Chains A and B, each alone.
Chain A
Amino acid sequence: MRYLWADLTKLLQRYRARVSLLFVHLAEAHAEDEWPIGSPVQVLQHRHLQHRIAAAEQFYSALDLNDELLKMGVNMQMTVDTMENSFHDMYGSWPAQWFLAVPQAPRSQAAPVEGGGGMAAPVEGGPAFTMTNVSDYDSPLLTLDDFAAHMFEQFGQGEDTVGGGSTALGTVHGLPISAVTKGVQGGQDVVATASAAGTMQ
């Protein structure tokens, strides 16, 4: 999944005027003392909350989130999952996940959740949210392409912040964003090939 972050960040930059962002730092996917896979950043699995917060700060710094997204005035908040991994338990987010949550009409009391699974917590005077698109860990490349297409359907072209040219993020189905962004030349879509990563062994 690591190689997708640059494209995902570009996508978030593009739609910064349309959406807000929430980052949740999870338990480490490949901690040095658990399941190392040669990551250039070596970190032990978090043993306590301050450890997790420190890792989150390092992650956000590595992604240039502060330098890039904050500089652009993106409305976002950085958070960390509980040490009981409550967010992951609810959303199956580990090792990485992104989704778009669309607000529903404001409601004043708790509503039954579609498909079972309990009641949504009441949000006084504010919106409830519906999950409209979620990444699939088994096929992250296609998932990100699908996510880009979904964002395009929701918000249109967005703003080009990648620099130079009229790249059409999310307009070509079946290709990952990287292929699309790297493949658009002179206004013509250049067909590129890509394969989705399989389940990690």
Chain B
Amino acid sequence: MQSRQVLAREERELFKQHPDRKWLYKHNASWNVFKVDDLDNWNWWECALSCTEPAVETDVTEEMLLIMQRYEAALRLSSATQQLLSRVYHQEVVCGMSSHESVIGALQAHVVKSFGVVGSGIEAGLALLRSAQSTLSQARNRAELAVDQDEFVPHYVRFNRLRQPQVQVGQQLLDSPLHDMQGGRLKFLSTMQALSTSGPGSPEQPCPVVVVASSLT
């Protein structure tokens, strides 16, 4: 049986050779290596529902955590998962259910169980997976993990643009540049003023303005 360190090193080499990330290690009881050559057609949730997971108590090492994280990202982006998420869209719109979180929660649980974390350890495993960035960053700082910082930023963190606003409730709005639908430049406050003094409002009695910001997706 190969050591975990050797496996991790080989795994990193495989990822370099196969940037599409369809080569994956999966931990089972004997730490054998196998590849999943096409996650796109794998309905992992059917396995999660029907398969008996190996009853193995596992200590999750940093190397394992890194691989788990990559496994999670690959599963999230697979066509099978995207199609599943598309199907739950209807539930979200019509039933007001936040099904996306349920699917992602099940996916993460599946990842954790795939690495031999079972029973009462699953909740802890989930917490570990969700805080992997911090854990791996600390391991890297201790020189226990020789990977680039970018490698352990979770996919859903890498593209998360959430940030604290500069204006809070009760405060006065601040200006910001915008564009009109022809690409021309606008000023937010001037636009607000124009909207407020037209329509239901007037220069003498400006009306409130509801601001809605969103995107197509």
A residues neighboring B (CB under 8 Å): 1-3, 5-6, 8, 12, 15-31, 34-43, 49-50, 52-53, 55-59, 62, 74-82, 85-104, 111, 113-115, 117-118, 120-121, 123, 125-134, 137, 141, 154, 176, 178-179, 194, 197-198, 200-201
Q: How far is the CB of A72 from chain B (nearest CB, A)?
A: 11
> Do A137 and B104 touch (CB < 8 A)?
no
A-B pairs with beta carbons under 8 Å apart, 12 shown: A19-B210, A26-B213, A29-B217, A35-B159, A53-B182, A56-B216, A77-B195, A86-B176, A88-B161, A94-B161, A131-B169, A154-B208
In the assembled complex, how far is the CB of residue A76 from the closest CB belonging to chain B, in whole angstroms? 7
Complex contacts, A19 vs chain B, CB 8 Å: 200, 207-210
Q: Which of B82, B84, B166, B194 has the most CB of A within 10 A?
A: B166
Q: How far is the CB of B217 from chain A (nearest CB, A)?
A: 4
Known: A53-B183, A129-B192. A36 touches B198 (CB 8 A): no
B57 within 8 Å of A by Cβ?
A: no
The answer to whether A121 touches B174, judged by C-beta atoms less than 8 angstroms apart, is yes
Given contacts A24-B212, A101-B173, 19 further A-B contacts (CB under 8 A): A20-B210, A42-B217, A49-B183, A50-B183, A55-B216, A75-B199, A75-B200, A77-B191, A80-B178, A80-B181, A82-B179, A89-B163, A89-B176, A95-B215, A97-B211, A103-B208, A129-B196, A130-B170, A178-B96
- Contact A36 B210, beta carbon cutoff 8 Å: no
Beta-carbon contact of A96 and B215 below 8 Å: yes
In the complex, are the beta carbons of A111 and B172 less than 8 A apart? yes
The reply to whether A78 and B167 contact each other, CB–CB distance below 8 Å, is: no
- Contact: A121 with B187, CB < 8 Å? yes
Q: A198 to B195, Cβ gap below 8 A?
A: no
Given A40-B86, A86-B176, A121-B174, decide whether A100 and B210 contact each other with a Cβ distance below 8 A: yes
Contact A22 B195, CB 8 Å, known A120-B175, A130-B173? yes
**Given the known A-B contacts A29-B215, A38-B89, A49-B183, are A129 and B210 also in contact in the complex, defined by CB atoms under 8 Å?**
no
When distances are taken between beta carbons in the complex, the residues of chain B under 8 Å from A17 are: 200
Q: Which residues of chain B are within 8 angstroms of A24 by Cβ–Cβ distance?
A: 178, 211-214
B14 close to A (CB within 8 Å)? no
Whether B10 is near chain A, meaning CB under 8 Å from some CB there, is: no
> Do B214 and A117 touch across chains, with their CB atoms under 8 A apart?
no
Contacting pair A56 B181 (CB below 8 A): yes
B209 surroundings in chain A (CB, below 8 A): 19-22, 100-101, 103, 129
Using known A-B contacts A20-B198, A29-B215, A129-B189, determine if residue A2 contacts B161 with beta carbons closer than 8 Å: no
- List residues of B whose CB falls within 8 A of some A CB: 77, 81-89, 92-98, 100-101, 104-105, 108, 130, 155-156, 158-183, 186-201, 203, 206-217
Indicate whether A41 sits within 8 Å of B217 (C-beta atoms), given known contacts A79-B191, A101-B209.
yes
Q: Cβ of A80: which chain B residues have Cβ within 8 Å of it?
A: 178-181
Chain B residue, CB-CB nearest to A154: B208
Instruction: Select from chain B the residue with minimum beta-carbon distance to A151.
Output: B210
**Is the Cβ of A18 less than 8 Å from the Cβ of B200?**
yes
A126 contacts which of B84, B100, B193 (Cβ < 8 Å)? B193
Q: Contacts A20-B198, A57-B181, A126-B206 hold; do A131 and B170 have CB atoms under 8 A apart?
A: yes
Chain B residues, Cβ within 8 Å of A49: 179, 183
Q: Which A residues touch B193, using CB under 8 A? A: 123, 126-127
With A38-B86, A39-B89 in contact, do A53 and B191 touch (Cβ < 8 Å)? Answer: no
Residue of B nearest to A17 (CB): B200
